[in-house]
Amino acid sequence: MANRLGAMSSASAANQGAKSAGNPSRPAANGNVIKRLQSELMALMTSPTPGLSAFPAGSDMTKWNATVTGPSDTPYADLTFKLTLSYPANYPYAPPEVLFKTPIYHPNVDMAGRICLDILKKGGDGSEGAWSAVLNTGSVLLSIQSLLGEPNNASPLNGEAALLWDRDQTEYKKKVLARHQEPEDVEAADVA
Amino acid sequence: MSGSPPWSSSRWHSSQAGFVPHHATSNSTGRLEVASSPPDVQRSLSAANIAGHSSLRGMRRLEARRQMEEANFLSSKARSQNLNPPIDLRMLDYVTAYDDNLMCPICRCPFLDPVVLAECDHCFCRDCIRQTWASTYSPLGPRGDCPSCRTPAKLGPRSATSKILVNITDDLLVRCPKSEDGCKAQVKRGEVQDHVNIYCGYAYMECTADDCELHVLRKDAAEGCLHFGVSCLDCRQSMQKASLETHWRVQCPDRKVSCELCKEAVFNREWDTHSRETCPAISIPCPGKVFGCNSRSKRSQADVHAKSCTFAKLTPMLTAMQQRMDEQEAAQKVMVRKLEVLEGGFQAVQTILSTKQEDPDQVGADESRIPLLTGRPHQRGDSGGMLDAMVVETDVGAFVFPPPSSSSRPSSELVHVRAGASLPPLYSAPMAPGPRPADLPEPFTMDFDMASPFPPPAANGPYISPLHHLLSMHESLRDEMSRMSAALQELDGRQSMQALNENLRTREEISYMAAQVAGLSRQVHWLTSAQLQRQQHGGAGRQAAGAAGPSGSDIAGAGAGVEAAVSTAASALRGAARIVNAGQGMTMRRGLSEEGRTKL
Ligand SMILES: [Zn+2]
Ligand SMILES: [Zn+2]
Ligand SMILES: [Zn+2]
Ligand SMILES: [Zn+2]
Ligand SMILES: [Zn+2]
Ligand SMILES: [Zn+2]
Ligand SMILES: [Zn+2]
């Protein structure tokens, strides 16, 4: 008959096999999320895209830091912006949450760094989201980079910026530069 | 893993001394008891089987047997799943690289049970596309938009891809999922479940001992029942013999494991530090990595590489230079700001000059800025020289490099001082005009537009330097001055001509009047003498000398009086002519003096 030792043995097996496949103590989906994120990271490292970078923030694979450099010929040229990405447990069936950490003056980004972009919203019945499971970190960052040069002024989060974009590009650029902070300064502010 | 074990070790006091048979421990009911029932079922089933074959008692009997077999199959399956859960094929490590085209775009693994969407030919794992469409339920089966191209699509019963793709992905080599536990096997993906279920030495199976219901690793099965308590000789922790090996390999803090890289035995508790920092076999990047050396060498050979690597040798110098460059950059930023301030100053100068333009009174005030008509080249040279000196000084300030010895001191301070020194002359010149000359000319009106040579600053276009800007302004001022003097000369000439004409007319009138007066005087003279002759005739004839005498002398006196009056009038006329002449001279002088003032 089963005894205490048996229970102990299975407990220790579960303990030592924390990383082994199909461990019942962890949800299987989570393992798949991490596996997929590892695969994305590998792809980003082996074929990097100029102006974009992304890397896990720490030991937690589902929280990443990223940087995006503004495209040339836009008011954001040569500026670098820091972002954070947070992947849900049902990634890639739901989009990651992306936030600007560097303050940015843009029609589709609010003061808290939240981004209004269709591919960052989950689609489905009635909703306008355009997230697709085949999108990944690289394609999301690429979309954000192109959003810098081509804002969607029809549905702005920052109405003033949307108006100024159409009216006075010189003044717009001034505002962008006034709002922007170097990533090092942002870090210093975070520490303080 | 060296923390407190998930069970209380105090219960095992009695068994710490060594091996204790597991039967001595108390029973407990757990979920394993459920798993323990199937063998009994199996035994009874085989009995029923035999009975069924021998008697053949009809359909009811067969039906009952079928049900029992099914129950048996399910329970044994449940038990084997409990021992070895089904392998999640997406979690496998692939031994060899595979073609990206074999990768499902959703889970980024080689396709598992791939399906093709008939509408657009895109291919996904069946599970992946089902889960993608999980939120859009339809009674007609899974349907939704293709994740790759957004074509509306559905999953039909015949959506499976060709067998070739399935075979290719199933033949990819993977590591055994128990590789963390020690299994070195590499098998085809399609066979990995069989490997774990049947062959893998690190998968669990039931203990071979008849009276033991626990499970052991397959490789240990031949050693008999290992389910008795032991305590680790190194760390004194209690456990079962069956799990001792795992404890030694992963957990025991006082046991040494051999490092695969450096072949050295390292204590488990020091393993983290060893693998991260101290292992001599771990390759570390060259110290000159940031400057371009991509070489990595083992920690033990890092010094050898550093001695031969040019980058590593240059690293201290390059780092110092980098630091200096950063400082320069910071200094340059300060300089750019200074330059902006300076340009602002020049703008101020410009606005001051153009306002003075509208109020010519003040133009005269700053004598040193506005050259006289004659040019006064020495003065212009002076002011230009001053500006030159200023610009040069600014340039030196912006591009001066600190001596190498003072690399630690930020050069921005130095630059700041220099830039500050060059500021005062710039500001003082336009802001505080020199003392006004005492004999200020009164404002004069101008019949030409003087503001025109000074277009607004924005339209002036960029100048090479503020100095050029000032010089060009100076030039246009000088042009303006010559235009002004030409205009004044013309005016002067016209005025003197007018005065001359006027004088001529007056003189003619005066001479005409003088002739008239002379005529009058002759008439008076003739009348007077005629009167005197008549009186002499009458007086002599009629001896009224006493009465006539006085009257005759009266008339003579009156004639002399008229003569005197006429000569006085003539002299008055001459005086008038003189005055006219003098007036003309005065006009001339006035014109000259005005010209002189304008020239000033
Ligand atoms: Zn898939
Ligand atoms: Zn498609
Ligand atoms: Zn194996
Ligand atoms: Zn046993
Ligand atoms: Zn131990
Ligand atoms: Zn080592
Ligand atoms: Zn090197």
CB contact (8 A) between residue A39 and residue B26: no
Distance A69 CA to ligand 7 centre (A): 30
Can you give the pLDDT at residue B581?
63
Res. A98 pLDDT band, cuts 50 70 90: very high
Please answer yes or no on whether A6 and B150 come within 8 Å at the CB atom: no
Count of domains in chain A? 1
pLDDT tens digits, A63-77? 999 999 999 989 999
B35-49, B312-326, B534-548, range with the lowest pLDDT: B35-49
Q: Return the pLDDT at B360.
A: 53
Task: Identify which has the larger pLDDT, B125 or B425.
Answer: B125
Tell me which of A127-141, B336-350, B403-417, B551-565 is least confident: B403-417
Give how far Cα B416 sits from Cα of B70, B343, B387, B406, Å: 92, 16, 19, 16
Residues of A in contact with B243 (CB under 8 A): 9, 12-13
Mean pLDDT score, A83-92: 93
- Identify which of B131, B148, B251 has the shortest CB distance to residue A93: B131
The CATH number of the domain holding residue A145 is 3.10.110.10
Q: Which two tokens stand for residue B61?
A: 């009997």
Higher pLDDT, B496 or B26: B496
Over 90: is that where the pLDDT of B597 sits? no
Q: Look at residue B539 in the predicted model and tell me its pLDDT.
A: 65
Q: Which of B212, B214, B115 is nearest to B165 (CA)?
A: B115
CA distance B182 to B220: 13
Backbone angles phi, psi at B445, to 5 degrees: -85, 155
More confident position, B74 or B321: B321
Q: Give the helix/strand (H/E) hosting B153.
A: strand B152-154
Distances (CA, A) of B276 to B148, B261, B284: 42, 12, 11
Ligand located closest to B279 CA: 6
Beta bridge partners of B267: B256
Q: What is the pLDDT of residue B418?
A: 45
Longest dimension (CA), chain B: 222
pLDDT in tens, B144-160: 889 999 899 888 776 67
What pLDDT sits at residue B555? Answer: 58
- The pLDDT, as a whole number, for residue B440 is 45
Q: What is the pLDDT of residue B542?
A: 58
Average pLDDT over residues A140-168: 92
What are the structure tokens assigned to B192, written together? Answer: 């990995």
Residue in A20, A92, A125 closest to B178 by CB: A20
Nearest to B147 by CA among B176, B120, B165: B120
- A-chain residues near B28 (CB < 8 A): 2-4, 7
| Residue A184 domain-assigned (yes or no) | no
Where residue B7 falls among pLDDT bands split at 50, 70, 90?
very low
- Percent helix, strand, coil in chain B (nearest 5)? 60, 10, 30
Where is A11: in which H helix or E strand? helix A4-16
Query: Which pTM value belongs to this model?
Result: 0.48
Residue with tokens 């990097």: A48
Q: How far is A41 from chain B (nearest CA, A)?
A: 11
CATH of domain B4-196: 3.30.40.10
C-alpha distances (whole Å) from A71 to each of A109, A154, A163, A173, B254 are 17, 21, 21, 13, 56
Cβ separation of B177 and A4 shorter than 8 Å?
no
Q: Determine, yes or no, domain membership for A21.
A: yes
- CB contact, 8 Å: B152 with chain A? no
B23 alpha carbon, closest ligand: 4
- Residue A22 and residue B250: Cβ atoms within 8 Å? no
Rounded distance between C-alpha atoms, residue B314 and residue A128, angstroms? 57
Question: Could you tell me how many residues make up chain A?
Answer: 192
Question: Does residue A185 form part of some domain?
Answer: no
Q: Which residues pair with B115 in a beta bridge?
A: B124, B160
CB contact under 8 A, B108 and A13: no
**Active-site positions of A?**
116
Q: pLDDT band at residue B374, thresholds of 50, 70 and 90?
A: very low
Predicted confidence (pLDDT) at residue A5 exceeds the cutoff of 70:
no
Domain span at residue A124? 2-179
The mean pLDDT of chain B is: 71
Which of A14-28, B67-81, B154-168, B425-439 is the least confident region? A14-28
> A167 — contact with chain B (CB < 8 Å)?
no
Residue A191 placed within a domain: no
Instruction: Tell me what pLDDT residue B14 has.
Output: 38
Average pLDDT over residues B364-374: 45
- Residue B245: predicted pLDDT: 81
Helix (H) or strand (E) holding A64: strand A63-69
Q: Does A159 touch chain B (CB under 8 A)?
A: no
pLDDT tens digits along B300-314: 777 888 888 888 888
* CB–CB contact B88 A134 (8 Å): no
- On whether the CB atoms of residues B239 and B232 are closer than 8 A, the answer is yes
* Residue of chain A whose alpha carbon sits nearest to that of B138: A125
- Residue A68 maps to a domain: yes
**Domain-located, residue A187:** no
Whether B197 and chain A come into contact, CB under 8 Å, resolves to: no
Residues on chain A touching B90 (C-beta within 8 angstroms):
31-32, 35
| pLDDT tens digit sequence for B397-436 | 444 444 444 444 444 444 444 444 444 444 444 444 444 4
Confidence of residue B70 (pLDDT cuts 50, 70, 90): confident
> How far away is chain B from the Cα of A5, in angstroms, using its nearest Cα?
8
Averaged pLDDT, B18-45: 41
Query: How does pLDDT run across A20-32, given as a tens digit for each residue?
Result: 333 333 444 478 8
Do the domain assignments include residue A44?
A: yes
Residue A52 lies in a domain: yes
Measured CA to CA, the distance from residue B290 to residue B295 in angstroms comes to: 11
Q: Are A61 and A89 in contact (CB under 8 A)?
A: no
Q: How confident is the model at residue A14 (pLDDT cuts 50, 70, 90)?
A: very low
Say whether the ipTM exceeds 0.85. no
pLDDT, tens only, B544-573: 444 444 555 565 666 677 677 777 777 877
Helical (H) or strand (E) element with B503: helix B466-541
Of B6, B22, B147, the CB nearest to A134: B147
Say what the pLDDT of residue B173 is: 94
- Ligand 4 centroid to Cα of residue B23, in Å, is 10
Test A22 with B177 for CB contact under 8 angstroms: yes
pLDDT at site B357: 66
Answer yes or no: do B136 and A125 touch at CB < 8 A: yes
Taking each helix axis from N to C end, the angle separating B38-55 and B59-83, rounded to the nearest 10 degrees, works out to 160
What are the backbone angles phi and psi of residue B317, rounded to the nearest 5°? -65, -45
Least-confidence region, from B32-46, B90-104, B118-132 = B32-46
* Span B228-281 CATH architecture: 2-Layer Sandwich (3.30)
Return residues 86-145 of B near A (CB < 8 Å): 86-88, 90-92, 105-109, 128, 131-132, 134-136, 145
Coil, strand or helix at B299: helix
List of chain B residues whose C-beta atoms are within 8 Å of the C-beta of residue A39: 108-109
Rounded to whole angstroms, how far apart are CA atoms B482 and B464?
Answer: 27
Sole residue written with tokens 């710039």? B426
**Cβ neighbours of B572 (radius 10 Å):** 12
Nearest-CA distance A182 → chain B (Å): 14
